Chain A
Amino acid sequence: MNAITTLQAPALERFIARARGDVSVLRGDLPTRAVEAWHYTSLRDVAKVPFEDAPDADFEAARALIDAHFPADLNMARAVFVNGRFTPDLSTGLEAFDIAAFSPGSGAMARPERDAIAGINAALAQDGLTLRVPQDVDAGRLALISVDVGQGRFSTHPRHRIVLEDGAALSLLDLNFGSGAYLSNPVFEIVVGDRARLTHAKVQDEDCEAFHLALVYADVATRGLYDSFTLTMGAALSRHEVHAGLLGGHATVHVNAAQLLDGDRHADLTSVITHGNPDCVSRQTVKNVLLDTSHGVFQGKIYVDRIAQKTDGYQMNQALLLSDRAQIDSKPELEIYADDVRCSHGATVGALDEEQLFYLQSRGIPRDDARAMLVRAFLTDAIALIEDEGMHTLLDAAVDAWWARRS
């Protein structure tokens, strides 16, 4: 092993050349696996590519992709971003929402000086959803659709800012898909006010040649709820990284996820949940279904501040390996400075149960259908954790579609 700790990155040189804003956040190189936070996920393949500005959107291609991914009967307002740009012609039902024009400048919550991926977004973001849900308003459901489509190697860096004022509510369906060998690099800055409730259901189904590096910063105030679920199925390499802060008493955060991977895909779910106040609750159930030579990563850190007494933290990572060449890396981490806390974590790895398979087959169910049923069963309790039940059907359908098309 040589002691390279940074990647000499054509990607970064190109990012610097493309950046219109502050490039200081881009000085330095991409982290290598010698950096603890990137131990299980290598950015080598990303660093090699000099990603260009996204081409002009091909509306017909984008529309076709949306039709393929977004159930036609889904009656939901939608904000559509094609190649990182808000696209009014494909968006609908937004009149009811308080959406402001995008303003550049590095976000208040993202920490570009500490995180290279946030830095890239800070330097290159040109658009994003800036949404405010006013006090005590339940804004209902909104689909945020991000489509990347085009030839060549390009990257998009949307930055979304979502603020729920005290007592507000929103259910956000965050869909990500596309066609091409692009890098999708979205950053979310989310503020959940007192007693406010945000559901954030994400589906990442990017092209199998694409990269997806997402960062979510969510601050939750007193008695607020950030209820998130991330379904990852796509991209060659992806990471969904969440930094959630419990900033008021009795606040709750759910960072649940399922990673369904086939082929040679690599997906990483990384989270840092900071209990900064007493009586807060964090819940995390992450399920992995791994086929072929795929590789799942879970890194979950729960940090409990000295003053965060009565913290209730739970973390579970489970992997179903459907091939003996699939791989899971799991790194739970508890860092606790308060003395009166309840934190538990666990991990399981296993294959499908032959006895269960036989039971189903003996009832006439063909083996592949039986496997599908057990995979669905494995995911059921995680999907059921989303508090907006309307999202369950949608995610179930996405899981079914994934199973039906997998290689």
Chain B
Amino acid sequence: MTMTDFLTVTNLRARIDDNGTPKEILRGLDLEIPPGEVHAIMGPNGSGKSTLSYVLSGREEYEVTEGSVRFKGQDLLALEPDERAALGVFLAFQAPVELPGVNNANFLRTAVNAVRRARGEAELDAVGFLKAVRAETKRLHMSDEMLKRQVNVGFSGGEKKRNEVLQMRMLAPSLAILDETDSGLDIDALRIVADGVNSLRGPDFSALVITHHQRLLDYIHPDRVHVMAQGRIIHSGGPEVAHELEAKGYARYLQAAA
């Protein structure tokens, strides 16, 4: 394995406390994403895709029992979730969390300025923030009215996903993990979300796109596609892997891995 010094996951094992009994979900996962690349992960429900995204972004309830994650030369697992965000990790949640009583614009501005502060950049004042966020809501075809609402409260599935992409763009990550951001989106919304990702592509932006569907990958062209099952990457290849999966399903990879 080559060390690109961007994201390197080695033999990652993680478990969760499932009502008192430890349940191993990630079982020796290896993954390498070089800078500037977009990778996709596909895999059956329950294979541990969301768990991987949580472990990378620092959710405490998952206990890492073995392996390592290096990101930009650092031990990612030793960092708090907010430190990881400052370093450039962003997770677009499969199920974005509702925050009753928290105003969306305030939330976004607090987050942007926390990250800017941690990165040694100047904070945005109210006017600067508004200008920046308006440009992004326009690109994502979101109404400014959404900024006045409470975070994700009463949002439709599609609105929540767009709100995730808005946060991603405002926080300028270098590694975006998109966990089934396409599910629940109609074709127009899918295009908008894909554009939101594609327009960030460049040498300083990598993405890990978790999806069930080839559909999203028609718009976000991955450099590599990984197949995940039972807590491991069981096959990796080029974009053609996604087409094969779409046509033939997971069975042949699962058999090959067994």
A360 to B99, CA, bound (A): 9
Knowing A377-B99, A377-B101, A381-B101, the reply to whether A362 touches B110 (Cβ < 8 A) is no
A34 on the B face (CB < 8 A): no
Cross-chain contact B115 with A359 (CB below 8 angstroms): no
Cross-chain contact A376 with B101 (CB below 8 angstroms): yes
CB nearest neighbor in A for B170: A363
- Looking at the assembled complex, report how far the CB atom of A356 sits from the nearest CB atom of chain B, in whole angstroms: 6
B187 on the A face (CB < 8 A): no
Cross-chain contact B97 with A359 (CB below 8 angstroms): yes
B132 on the A face (CB < 8 A): no
Cross-chain contact A373 with B114 (CB below 8 angstroms): no
Knowing A356-B97, A369-B114, the reply to whether A361 touches B102 (Cβ < 8 A) is no
Contacts of A365 in B (CB 8 A): 82, 110-111, 114
> 7 A-B contacts, Cβ less than 8 Å apart?
A359-B93, A362-B58, A363-B82, A363-B107, A363-B114, A365-B110, A369-B110
Complex partner residue of B85 from A354, A364, A379, A380, CB under 8 angstroms: A364
B59 on the A face (CB < 8 A): yes
Cross-chain contact A362 with B81 (CB below 8 angstroms): yes
B90, B91, B110, B115: most-surrounded residue (chain A CB, <10 A): B110
A373 to B151, CA, bound (A): 12
Residues of A within 8 A of B (CB): 354-356, 358-367, 369-370, 373-374, 376-381
Contacts of A363 in B (CB 8 A): 82, 85, 107, 111, 114-115, 167, 171
Complex partner residue of B91 from A360, A362, A374, CB under 8 angstroms: A362
CB nearest neighbor in B for A358: B59
A381 to B100, CA, bound (A): 9
- Looking at the assembled complex, report how far the CB atom of A260 sits from the nearest CB atom of chain B, in whole angstroms: 15
Cross-chain contact B115 with A364 (CB below 8 angstroms): yes
A402 to B112, CA, bound (A): 25
A85 to B101, CA, bound (A): 40
Contacts of B57 in A (CB 8 A): 362
CB nearest neighbor in A for B150: A377
Q: Map CB proximity to A onto B82-114 as digits: 1 under 8 Å, 0 otherwise.
A: 101110001101001101111000010011101
A142 to B90, CA, bound (A): 49
- Looking at the assembled complex, report how far the CB atom of B126 sits from the nearest CB atom of chain A, in whole angstroms: 15
Contacts of A374 in B (CB 8 A): 99, 102
B60 on the A face (CB < 8 A): yes
CB nearest neighbor in B for A377: B101
- Looking at the assembled complex, report how far the CB atom of A288 sits from the nearest CB atom of chain B, in whole angstroms: 15
- Looking at the assembled complex, report how far the CB atom of B208 sits from the nearest CB atom of chain A, in whole angstroms: 15
B57, B60, B81, B111: most-surrounded residue (chain A CB, <10 A): B81
What total of A-B pairs shows CB separation below 8 Å? 76
Cross-chain contact A366 with B114 (CB below 8 angstroms): yes
CB nearest neighbor in A for B112: A364
A359 to B91, CA, bound (A): 9
B240 on the A face (CB < 8 A): no
Contacts of B110 in A (CB 8 A): 365, 369, 373
A362 to B97, CA, bound (A): 11
Cross-chain contact B82 with A361 (CB below 8 angstroms): yes
Q: Map CB proximity to A onto B148-168 as digits: 1 under 8 Å, 0 otherwise.
A: 000000000000000000010
B118 on the A face (CB < 8 A): yes
Contacts of B91 in A (CB 8 A): 362
A358, A359, A374, A381: most-surrounded residue (chain B CB, <10 A): A359
CB nearest neighbor in A for B100: A377
A359 to B96, CA, bound (A): 8
B61 on the A face (CB < 8 A): yes
Contacts of B99 in A (CB 8 A): 356, 359-360, 374, 377
- Looking at the assembled complex, report how far the CB atom of A289 sits from the nearest CB atom of chain B, in whole angstroms: 13
Contacts of A359 in B (CB 8 A): 93, 96-97, 99
Knowing A354-B60, A369-B110, the reply to whether A361 touches B85 (Cβ < 8 A) is yes
Cross-chain contact A361 with B86 (CB below 8 angstroms): no
B204 on the A face (CB < 8 A): no
B101, B111, B115: most-surrounded residue (chain A CB, <10 A): B101
Given contacts A359-B97, A367-B82, 9 further A-B contacts (CB under 8 A): A356-B99, A359-B96, A359-B99, A360-B107, A364-B111, A366-B82, A373-B102, A373-B110, A376-B101
Please provide the chain B residues from 183 to 229 with a CB less than 8 Å away from any CB of chain A in the complex: none
A17 to B220, CA, bound (A): 85
- Looking at the assembled complex, report how far the CB atom of A373 sits from the nearest CB atom of chain B, in whole angstroms: 6
B17 on the A face (CB < 8 A): no
CB nearest neighbor in A for B113: A364
Contacts of A366 in B (CB 8 A): 80, 82, 114
- Looking at the assembled complex, report how far the CB atom of A123 sits from the nearest CB atom of chain B, in whole angstroms: 44
Contacts of B86 in A (CB 8 A): 364
Complex partner residue of A380 from B59, B101, B115, CB under 8 angstroms: B101
CB nearest neighbor in A for B98: A356
Contacts of A367 in B (CB 8 A): 80, 82
A366 to B57, CA, bound (A): 14
Contacts of B100 in A (CB 8 A): 377, 381
Contacts of B84 in A (CB 8 A): 362
